[in-house]
A and B are shown apart, each in its own frame.
Chain A
């Protein structure tokens, strides 16, 4: 059982956490409210209707659009909305946490390109995209299939597994490891670090800092190894890449930041998507049957899982005082990019709360929109597809062990964290 960490933000932040129950979601929403994390959909419906760009003072203050058209517009407007800080809550570094001087010197570039604005964003993205094309990620498909089957071998006979922790969570770190040229055995701590940074660390600055330092330390060490002895892996590629508009060689802080991004953005996002898809399939036998009988429809189905259970909310910072649809946004205000709510907007999607695996028209923005469209979207799709295909081949019938026992994480990335399923072994 995971326990909630103590709320901690540093003593000099100009605000204090407020965990009182929410009375009015339009003026005082709380993205960490446990009921909201479990079932945010009625709140989004209310906000879209009554206050489509809501504001709350909680967690340092933020704006939160919930309509597709607003999310789309704001995502495209890089002039007024910067990506320099994409986390949903800011915090203050704890000066008592020790940082190795090499890390302090190199962990200075953020996590490009996700935290970059043009012009750095432009070359930083060009550097990364060829390695995440459909063709490039499909090179990892066979080993992902093998990995899924190994995981299933581990619990098949027991007739029970936690599909979030024992399956979904295990897949992305090992695929990323393979891309970085790291042995699978070394990935044991990745999920914990990333969860520390993006989940527990959202409400506890010390956990966030400590997790970031662990990730940076591991990666800095890896980069130094690859600088000495380059290989056929993504880290070596970044170190030696010649890309138009980019400095050559790409500065080490940038390489470190991009590797940090690959780890942080590529793990619990995809694990959450896979987990949510299984949470759905466990409760909907007709959808399992549909996928088994229509294997060629898997890609359409993946898009529907992405739409209906979009995991990721990113943040933007307002670059200058700016009024958006009557909302007086101030410089440095945070805007929560609630892409998941946009994807349930009835103005854009017919019957948005119904999961229709054969939905033909589905221009969802689960991966964002505009210049920050998730660079790893093809990798995420491949992992989701393979995870579902391999499981259904071997465990076509399964159900939730106890629907009430499923736990959800949210805030920045929403998905099930404990989701036990059972089947006839």
Chain B
């Protein structure tokens, strides 16, 4: 699974960061981006979905099936 924040949609509500600080980071102005390459570690899938569902701007894209080890 992979998460991605669409920069043009993010308005800095910071909901994703509060729900899943392991998966998201914030820049100095509070806009969010996915940590690292956005690959969700095993066991964190539910948090990733929850972050997306709580984003009022619909700025988070969760890709359920990401080819394994493609980026390793």
Residues of A within 8 A of B (CB): 72, 126, 129-130, 132-134, 299, 303, 360-365, 367, 369-371, 373, 377-378
Contact = CB atoms under 8 A, between A and B. Distances in A.
Interface string B1-42: 000000000011111011000000010111000000000000
A139 to B, nearest CB: 14
B30 A129 contact: yes
A interface, over-half SS: helix
Contact of A363 (B15, B17, B18): B15
10 contacts: A129-B30, A130-B29, A134-B30, A363-B55, A363-B56, A369-B11, A370-B57, A373-B11, A373-B12, A377-B14
Contacts of A373: 11-13
Which one of A363, A369, A370 has the greatest number of beta carbons of chain B within 10 Å?
A363
Nearest to A364: B56
A193 B53 CA distance: 39
A369 B56 contact: yes
Which one of B13, B15, B18, B55 has the greatest number of beta carbons of chain A within 10 Å?
B13
Contacts of A129: 12, 28-30
B39 to A, nearest CB: 23
B2 to A, nearest CB: 21
B29 A134 contact: no
A266 to B, nearest CB: 16
Contact of A299 (B18, B26, B55, B57): B18
A130 B50 CA distance: 26
A369 B15 CA distance: 13
Contacts of B18: 134, 299
